[in-house]
Chain A
Amino acid sequence: MKVLVVDDEPLVRRSLEKALVHRGHQVVQAADGRAGMDVWISEKPDLIFLDILMPGLSGLQVLKELGPRKTGKVVLMSAYSGVHGQETVQQMGADLFVAKPFDDILEVVKKAEGLIA
């Protein structure tokens, strides 16, 4: 499947891509919210890893602006673990929340794959 990774941290994008490719997925990347939104609309990915805190548009703003044009399942990532519970994540239009840092990146990928099944 087609996976979009939106994060301003290159190492995060790179490691997620590596893990996803390893699992046999096609990966597209975006380094900020604005670019991520453009790719999202043009590529229509099945799964999106979206960072919350980014310069320019934040992950939440991206979701808001996208509105009905949103496709695929969304995994929100943030270091603000305590603040966003599962419930609010769904209210924001996401499907899963993953706290940074990841304890095990492969676990994260597996959880995300589970959304599609």
Chain B
Amino acid sequence: MATPENPHRILWTDSDNEALAAAKRLLKGTAWELVTSDSYEKALKQVGNGPFAVVVAGQPASGERGLEFLERVRALNPSVSRIVSAEQPTRAMVERAINEAAVFRIIEKPLDKSDVVKSLAEAVQHHVTSFDQKMLLREVSRQNKELEGLKQGLERMVADRTKSIKASKAEVERKQKRIRATIRFVKELALTAHLDDLFVLIRKELRVQRRVSDPILGYYSPEQKARLLFFRGSQVLEKQCANEPWPAIDQVKTNSQSVRKFLADQFGRPFGKVLSIPLKQRSSEKVTSVLFLEHGYSEDDLHDFLEYVMELLQPFSITLDRLLLAEDLRHTSVLWERTFDTIQDPVAIVNVDYDILRSNRHFSDRVTYGTCYKVFAGQESVCAGCPVGAALKAGKARRGEVRRGERIYQVHSYPILGSGEATATTVVNHYVDVTEARNLYSKAIQNEKMAALGVMAGHIAHELNNPLTGLRSLAQLLRKEVPAPVANDLAEVEKAAERSQRIIKNLLDFSQAGENSDAADTVSLNDIILKTLPMLKTAMRFHRSEIELTEDDNSIRVNPYMLQQVIFNLVNNACQAMENPGSIRITTSREEDRVCLYVRDTGPGIPESAMDRIFEPFFTTKPEGEGTGLGLSMSRQIIEKFGGAIQVTETGPQGTEFKVSLPAAKE
């Protein structure tokens, strides 16, 4: 790039040599380099050759040659500052100099030094400035050119890009469409809650491909049964695999002979080309589900189709996995629930606040929330004897006894400890009904007591019977030998002895009731009743009696003598219960596998206060001396010995009915 001249060169041309000499003289000692020329032609050549900051041209008084020169300089190098020097310049000349030659200044002749130097200095400065401007302009235009180039490049690029974008847009749209379809499919999959729905969905997707028939899905149910899901028309059907399940398929098989045979066996029709696609399940390492697709694709088309299908099958497989897992979970959960409910004892899972987290049907068949003490025992606060607190505190199993109404439960509390946990916040409560065991235990004690009492009663009876026999007999004999007043006294003695003997006999019978119980025979209840009735003649003499004996088989296995005692007691009690003449009704019946005896009286009924105690030994409502309080107790003992039961079925002002039921003898 050109630079402003420095030191600045000045070309001075004038046809008048005097003027040139004057210029030389004036510029002597200045920094400028002065070049003079007396020929415009030469000077013009010099301007073309070398750079000058300022060109000064003298303008002769006549003609216009100086101005012409400057005009040509301007055309040659416009950045050079131009000055015209003239003697008395005319107005026309000035106009032309300014307008045509675009001179910087007009210097009047004769030349004045200060005027010349000042003008030249300004002209040089002008040149420098205009040069800079020119350079700037040049740079700007160069840059503009570059920009233009860039712009053109960009436009080309944009055009290219637009072209390629347009080309790929179709592809993108196609892909988008597919992605949208997949998303929609995935969304639909997410909403399926049932295997059938899922199956219908995949068929819908597959139907887009025209050369595939309806799919068949092989999967394993929670019970590990191999099952097949398939379509009949629009209906989803399911069946269990006959015989063997499908052959193992661990990768896509395009046309497996064994699969075709398997399907043909299952569906009873020949199969064409079958695509078998394993559906890997996350829940198991093995491939357990397989999608079978009968198709009509050629080898080449199959690739594209497979690509399409695999894209669908990924979400499908995940959903299948989810549904099978859910089903499995449901199955397991139901199984557990059933197991829980099947346990015959009440079971509940309870937290520190005694809130029920879970309970089985035997715990409560209606309420399943609330506190255990409220729901189970109907208590307002923790049951007495509850082991839950102790079990939680100790972190070990504890047991206790609680009451639920009439029944007694032994509660086993097992704290549930998570792995690594030191303290438990929940316990499993297992309730065992120990009421029977308790009753049996107290009954066992009772039986023990009764046996001891029986032995003792036997001894006492024997010890007393002998002297009583003598006492009574002697009284009988003496009565006949003494005068009347004494005889009357003796009669009282005899009566007292007799009463004593009767009591002892009862005691004796009672004590023997427990013995020889094994000596049972198969006998008819009716026969025993008929044999016992004569003994009751005295007792029944004031009352009407109705006897109604069943015609059904009434054989039982008992010790007949003992049963006679029972009948005797019941009928005797009934007679004694009726102060006024009433009626006694004795009936027998066969009730399924039991043989029953009913003894009914028209007495005043058993007082409510006595009801609970009538079977207790030594409990009696009869006047002192008349009853030992052993009759019913002994009767129950006998009946229970032979697997029977005795109870009051009815009692009230209209009368009382006792029922004895005994197991019917087996053939």
Contacts and interface: CB of A to CB of B under 8 A. Distances in A.
B628 interface: no
Interface string A1-45: 000000111111111101100100000000000000000000000
Nearest to A103: B498
Contacts of B501: 101
Contacts of B498: 101
A82 interface: yes
Contacts of A8: 466
Interface centre among B467, B473, B478, B561 (most CB of A within 10 A): B473
B508 A79 contact: yes
Interface in B486-523: 497-498, 501, 508, 512
A57 interface: no
Interface of A: 7-16, 18-19, 22, 51, 53, 79, 82, 100-102, 104-106
A10 B501 CA distance: 18
A105 B148 CA distance: 162
A104 B462 CA distance: 19
Contacts of A102: 469, 472-473
14 contacts: A9-B469, A9-B470, A12-B466, A12-B470, A12-B473, A15-B470, A15-B477, A18-B474, A18-B477, A18-B478, A79-B461, A105-B472, A105-B477, A106-B476
Nearest to B466: A9
Interface residues of B, number: 21
B389 to A, nearest CB: 59
B119 interface: no
B531 to A, nearest CB: 14
B561 A82 contact: yes
A7 B477 contact: no
B222 to A, nearest CB: 70
B interface SS class: helix
A18 B465 CA distance: 19
Contact of A14 (B466, B470, B476): B470
Nearest to A83: B512
A37 to B, nearest CB: 20
B417 interface: no
Given A12-B467, A14-B470, 7 more contacts: A9-B466, A11-B473, A12-B470, A19-B477, A100-B465, A101-B465, A102-B469
Contacts of A10: 470
Given A53-B462, A100-B465, A19 B473 contact: yes
B466 A15 contact: no
A16 B473 contact: yes
A3 B474 CA distance: 18
Nearest to A8: B466
Q: Which 3 A-B pairs have the closest CB atoms?
A: A11-B470, A15-B473, A105-B473
B471 interface: yes
Contacts of A53: 462
A115 B358 CA distance: 85
Nearest to B462: A79
B468 interface: yes
A19 B473 CA distance: 9
Contacts of A7: 466
B476 A100 contact: no
Contacts of B470: 9-15
Given A79-B461, A79-B462, A101-B501, A11 B467 contact: yes
A7 B474 CA distance: 15
Interface string B345-365: 000000000000000000000
Contacts of A106: 476-477
Contacts of A82: 512, 561
A100 B466 contact: yes
Nearest to A12: B470
Given A79-B461, A82-B561, A101 B477 contact: no
A105 B465 CA distance: 14
A18 B467 CA distance: 16
Contact of B471 (A11, A13, A16, A104): A11
B324 to A, nearest CB: 78
Contacts of A100: 465-466, 469
A77 B474 CA distance: 16
Contacts of B469: 9, 11-12, 15, 100-102
A28 B42 CA distance: 210
Contact of B467 (A9, A22, A105): A9
A54 to B, nearest CB: 9
Contacts of B465: 79, 100-101
A17 B512 CA distance: 32
Contact of B474 (A15, A51, A79, A104): A15
Residue of B461, B471, B476, B498 ringed by the most chain A CB atoms within 10 A: B476
Given A16-B473, A104-B476, A106-B476, A79 B466 contact: yes
Contacts of A19: 473, 477
A12 B512 CA distance: 25
A44 B247 CA distance: 110
B95 to A, nearest CB: 180
A16 B476 CA distance: 11
Nearest to B500: A101
A67 B664 CA distance: 48
A102 B476 CA distance: 11
A87 B472 CA distance: 28
B537 to A, nearest CB: 16
A101 B498 CA distance: 8
A105 B508 CA distance: 22
A51 B467 CA distance: 13
A106 B497 CA distance: 17
Q: Determine which residue in A7, A100, A101 has the highest number of CB atoms from chain B within 10 A of its CB, and name it.
A: A101
A69 B235 CA distance: 109
A18 B476 CA distance: 11
A14 B470 CA distance: 7
Contacts of B473: 11-12, 15-16, 19, 102, 105
